[in-house]
Amino acid sequence: MEQDKSILKVIEKVFSISSQTERLLFFALMAVFIISGLSIAWKVNNSFLISVPDYGGTLEEGIIGIPRFINPVLAGSDADRDLTELVYSGLLKVTPEGRVIPDLAKEFSISSDSRTYSFVLKNNIKFHDGTPITTDDVEFTIQKIQDPTIKSPKRPLWDGVVIRKTSPTEINFTLRQAHATFIEDLTVGILPKHVWKNVPSDEFSFSQFNVTPIGSGPYKIRDIKRNSIGLPIFYDLIAFKDHTLGRPFISNIVTKFYQNERELLDAYERGDIGTLNGLSPKAATEIKKEGSTIVVSTLPRIFGVFFNQNQAPVFVNKEVRQALALAIDKDSIVNEVLDGYGETIDSPLLPKPNILASQKNNGTGGSSATSSSSSSSRIDQAISILSKNGWELNKDTGVMEKKTKTETIALRFSLATGDATELKQAAENIKESWEKIGASVDVKVFETGDLNQNIIRPRKYDALFFGEVVGRKADLYSFWHSSQRNDPGLNIALYTNIKTDKLLEEMRATTDETLQQEKLSQFEAIIKEDVPAVFIYAPEFIYIVPEAIQNIKLGQITNSGERFLNVHEWYINTNKVWKIFTN
């Protein structure tokens, strides 16, 4: 204390003999010293800080259509699936990377014969209303899917599956035969039995619980605003803090509903919504708005031309199928018809995504199609294939012909497709390419319902330009096994091959991914050799989002609702913390 007083006396003496200028200089130097010290301390502190996601923020999502069944048992439309993905959770969950991880389940196992799947539920899991989740709820949900009266679109996936509940937390499912893709069927959302148990099966689809759902997913419904006739205008959802995979960072999601693309785009331009999906490629390229990003992901859908040799014998000639396949300008279709929002393909297998989500600046178009040989070169090669196999151009008709011992075959056939804009435009592009090699093609356009019911199901087409939803795990059995040639099978090329049948059966019966890939490669090689179809493109899912939303990972989604696979990890707000406080 005495020493401190002495120092103060010295300072006072110095100040007493100092001039005013010297005093001002002293204070200025002290100020510089203090500011510099604080600046250094701030920089040192910041060097130890990192930005981390923080809770808060609101996402306003625009959706085309109005949900009728926010219910994993009945969901059929994109609007249904969007809300169902947000509200419900299943035993398992698919990640954007394509891995299957536990969700409501704590652990699971698969029997050595790949027929029995056993699950143990996590502790203290609950629905949005606070009711505990048990295997009673799991059993109830699957039984409703299996109930023929309810007519669940998922019923074929669960046909013949036996449920055995051994305790409130343990349950297993036994299949008639091994099915490699069954693991993904276990991601189906779980209904709360206590809410639904008194709803009769014949009234299941009419219940109000379909539009006022209670689940256990990342978001729960806080409010619903309806119009004058009772249809929902928007759903206001809030983060569920007890979500099994962690409390979502974004606090609030508002889903607003629109009748069509034009209404959706108008709402976006007005600023009523910040995110939108389900756009046509042309609409996506026209959107220009500061602070927004276009995120895309290749959809597991194969678009191509499928040859029906039973209906049009001209396709029995392999050289015809080869020449037609070679003549199509796939790059032109992707760039001109899809505005770049697609990827060219040459097999029934989808290209594996290199990244989780591809981001594009507005107005720049989609993926650049893989470059190929020039159009004229391909046409010359296609004509050469035909010529070498006895085809000659009839100069009067302009159509290639081939003479046999009994008849003259003309390269003339029809191409059926749907009335969607992209399908019609692509079909005309294909026709133009084929006419360059001497084919006479009649494009027949059908309304979607008519096409499915009266053309595809009875197999009444020469060639069909159509899309197949192959799914994430690429279970190709339904599309290419000979047993699936007739309706309700999906083998629309009516393809038959003993070798590929065996490979498809073996792929379906094993969960060994290495073995599956080996047999898949063999299958792909045979299909390329036989040319039962021409595989043209896989379209991209287009999602417009504000730049402020971070950590969106689309991966390879199978439907629009799966854009929310990691929604609990999306964030808008950030906070800075010391590195030592993070994992």
Q: What is the model's pTM?
A: 0.83
Give the list of residues 6+ apart from residue 198 with CB closer than 8 angstroms, or none: none
Looking at residue 34, its pLDDT comes to: 76
pLDDT per residue of the chain (583 residues) written in tens, 0 to 9: 555 556 556 556 655 666 667 667 766 777 777 777 666 656 655 666 677 899 999 999 999 999 999 999 999 999 999 999 999 999 999 999 889 999 999 999 999 999 999 999 999 999 999 999 999 999 999 999 999 999 999 998 999 999 999 999 999 999 999 888 899 999 999 999 999 999 999 999 999 999 999 999 999 999 999 999 989 999 999 999 999 999 999 999 999 999 999 999 999 999 999 999 988 888 888 786 667 888 888 888 999 999 999 999 999 999 999 999 999 999 999 999 999 999 999 999 887 654 444 454 444 444 443 444 577 899 999 999 999 999 999 999 999 999 988 899 999 999 999 999 999 999 999 999 999 999 999 999 999 999 999 999 999 999 999 999 887 776 799 899 999 999 988 999 999 999 999 999 999 888 888 998 899 999 999 999 999 999 999 999 999 999 999 999 988 888 899 999 999 999 999 887 666 555 5
CB atoms within 10 A of CB 259: 10
Two tokens, residue 10: 């010295």
Two tokens, residue 219: 């978001």
Q: Angle at CA 86, nearest 5°, toward 57 and 108?
A: 120
Looking at residue 354, its pLDDT comes to: 47
Beta strands in 16-73 (DSSP E): 49-54, 58-64
- Alpha-carbon distance 537 to 301, whole Å? 8
309 and 493 Cβ atoms separated by less than 8 Å = no
Q: What are phi and psi of 565, to 5 degrees?
A: -55, -40
Two tokens, residue 141: 């949900």
Alpha helices in 229-303 (DSSP H): 261-270, 281-286
Q: Could you give the 3-state DSSP secondary structure of residue 300?
A: coil
Q: Residue by residue, what is the 3-state secondary structure of 409-431?
A: EECEEEEEEECCHHHHHHHHHHH
Two tokens, residue 264: 């959706």
490 and 478 Cβ atoms separated by less than 8 Å = yes
Q: Residue by residue, what is the 3-state secondary structure of 531-576?
A: CCEEEEEEEEEEEEEECCCECCCCCCCCCHHHHHCCHHHCECEEEE
Query: What pairing do the DSSP bridges indicate for beta strands 162-167 and 170-174?
Result: antiparallel
Query: What pairing do the DSSP bridges indicate for beta strands 232-239 and 219-226?
Result: antiparallel
Residue 104's closest CA among 116, 82, 87, 120?
Answer: 120
Q: What is the DSSP string of 125-174?
A: -B-TTSPBP-HHHHHHHHHHHH-TTT--TTHHHHTTPEEEEEETTEEEEE
Q: What are phi and psi of 19, to 5 degrees?
A: -80, 165
What percent of the chain is helix, strand and coil (3-state, nearest 5)?
Answer: 35, 25, 40
CB atoms within 10 A of CB 237: 26
- Alpha-carbon distance 288 to 75, whole Å? 33
- Alpha-carbon distance 56 to 424, whole Å? 45
Amino acid at 455: I
Looking at residue 579, its pLDDT comes to: 61
Looking at residue 45, its pLDDT comes to: 58
Amino acid at 479: F
Looking at residue 374, its pLDDT comes to: 76
Looking at residue 582, its pLDDT comes to: 57
279 and 465 Cβ atoms separated by less than 8 Å = no
Give the list of residues 6+ apart from residue 294 with CB closer than 8 angstroms, or none: 284, 287, 359, 360, 361, 362, 542, 543, 544
Residue 217's closest CA among 186, 248, 171, 184?
Answer: 248
